[in-house]
Amino acid sequence: MELLKDRIAREGVNLGQGILKVDSFINHQVDPALMLAVGGALAARLAHLGANKIVTAEISGIAPALMTGLALGIPVVYARKTKPVTMHPNAMRATAPSHTKGTVTELMISPEFLGPRDHVLIVDDFLARGKTIRALVELIRQAGATLVGIGAVIEKRFEGGREELANLNVPIESLVVVTSMENGHIIMED
Amino acid sequence: MELLKDRIAREGVNLGQGILKVDSFINHQVDPALMLAVGGALAARLAHLGANKIVTAEISGIAPALMTGLALGIPVVYARKTKPVTMHPNAMRATAPSHTKGTVTELMISPEFLGPRDHVLIVDDFLARGKTIRALVELIRQAGATLVGIGAVIEKRFEGGREELANLNVPIESLVVVTSMENGHIIMED
């Protein structure tokens, strides 16, 4: 996706240790028109899988998932990290270790919004080590729903998430693949 | 906004103590087409204020703010509640007490994305007591930016947020006004 590659090339910052800062258009400030294009591009690659629901994780997954859901005409469920007072008492729960924070994050989805009839796409901002997506897969499994595919805005190929998720046997689509961040560079696949 | 009123009437749940659960279309599961309409409706009411940026708070504010930003063609900055590793060290900070959780939430915005040249709309999912919006106003003040208006998807009029924010002297628009939640009802303004 050239629009996104150009934006990463211009505004992405390599903070070292594999951390790619895209706070000016995805993770803190969001460019809605870019997100609309991102959602359209992910939808075009994933529409054939026939999903009826998208699952993502708060916080940064919400914008790309929402726009993908808009393009596909299906609802988006975002897994919560803290239990809101409105949440169903028997929420499904799974945990994911955070590489950058050194902590463990719990993700929760209410059984009201994910169940055995659902065919689910996971959409997230980054595919890095695949740990957050693993936790979302676990929630989908607990719900008895069927995972049909995974979409990421940016894949950090060198962190191995694609291999981590290979045994799920579902299509994994990412719009931009970063192959290396060594020596301060941000190298993207053509 | 009739579309939204109908949805609240059908799917909103009064949990008591003024808590309105709209988890099936705003706060946990999100309906992207409804959010697009919500963003368009807020944009129509707020466009004349000439904002160049929208500020919201993670998490539930992101979807309506993103769609309002899409309609207005301007970026959205969402205040963070936890400091990501990518965040500028000198982030602006403000706190808001949470009524429903009994805790204090810190909100942070990087000075990279909010400054003296910005004319800002605040967009959030709920206008209740106005405490979160107060904290966002404080961040805008710290940035030296100018607040030009406030938009909320749902206003709980009986919680007094509009009065709390009156001295800001900016237009406050909400798409649906809930006037009472007594006795298990959800009474909305015509």
Give me the CATH number covering residue B116: 3.40.50.2020
Task: Determine the angle formed by the axes of helices B62-72 and A62-72, rounding to 10 degrees.
Answer: 70
Q: Rounded to a whole number, what is the distance in Å from the CA of A119 to chain B's nearest CA?
A: 15
Question: Hey, are the CB atoms on A76 and B29 less than 8 Å from each other?
Answer: yes
A102 in any annotated domain: yes
By mean pLDDT, which of A77-81, B98-102, B119-123, B157-161 is the weakest?
Answer: B98-102
Residues of chain B contacting residue A29, judged by C-beta atoms under 8 Å apart: 75-77, 112-113
| Tens digit of each residue's pLDDT (9 = 90 or more) over A51-70 | 999 999 999 999 999 999 99
| Tens digit of each residue's pLDDT (9 = 90 or more) over B67-101 | 999 999 999 999 999 898 889 889 999 999 876 66
A103 in any annotated domain: yes
Helix (H, G, I), strand (E, B) or coil at B1: coil
Q: Compute the count of residue pairs across chains A and B with CB atoms less than 8 Å apart.
A: 130
Strands (E) in A10-59, as ranges, are: 13-14, 20-21, 29-30, 53-57
Neighbouring residues of B67: CB distance < 8 A, sequence distance ≥ 6: A32, A66, B35, B36, B38, B39, B40
Assembly ipTM: 0.96
Among A27, A32, A76, select the one facing B84 at the smallest CB separation: A27
Q: Rounded to a whole number, what is the distance in Å from the CA of A142 to chain B's nearest CA?
A: 17
Task: Summarize the confidence of residues A123-127 as an average pLDDT.
Answer: 98
A10 in any annotated domain: no
Question: Hey, are the CB atoms on B113 and A24 less than 8 Å from each other?
Answer: yes
At B103 the pLDDT is: 85
A184 in any annotated domain: no
Query: How many independent structural domains does chain A possess?
Result: 1
Residues of chain A contacting residue B156, judged by C-beta atoms under 8 Å apart: none
Residues of chain B contacting residue A31, judged by C-beta atoms under 8 Å apart: 75
Residues of chain A contacting residue B21, judged by C-beta atoms under 8 Å apart: 86
Q: Rounded to a whole number, what is the distance in Å from the CA of B168 to chain A's nearest CA?
A: 24
The band of A33, judged by pLDDT with boundaries at 50, 70 and 90, is very high
Residues of chain A contacting residue B26, judged by C-beta atoms under 8 Å apart: none
The band of B102, judged by pLDDT with boundaries at 50, 70 and 90, is confident
Q: Rounded to a whole number, what is the distance in Å from the CA of B108 to chain A's nearest CA?
A: 10
Query: Cα(A58)–Cα(A78) distance, rounded to whole angstroms?
Result: 6
Q: What spatial distance separates the first Cα and last Cα of chain B, rounded to whole Å? A: 9
A170 in any annotated domain: yes
Question: Hey, are the CB atoms on A29 and B66 less than 8 Å from each other?
Answer: no
| Tens digit of each residue's pLDDT (9 = 90 or more) over A172-182 | 999 999 999 99
Question: Hey, are the CB atoms on B70 and A110 less than 8 Å from each other?
Answer: no
Q: Name the residue type at position A108.
A: M
At A113 the pLDDT is: 98
A22 in any annotated domain: no
Q: Rounded to a whole number, what is the distance in Å from the CA of B43 to chain A's nearest CA?
A: 13
> Which residue segment(s) compose the domain that A67 sits in?
31-179
A12 in any annotated domain: no
A26 in any annotated domain: no
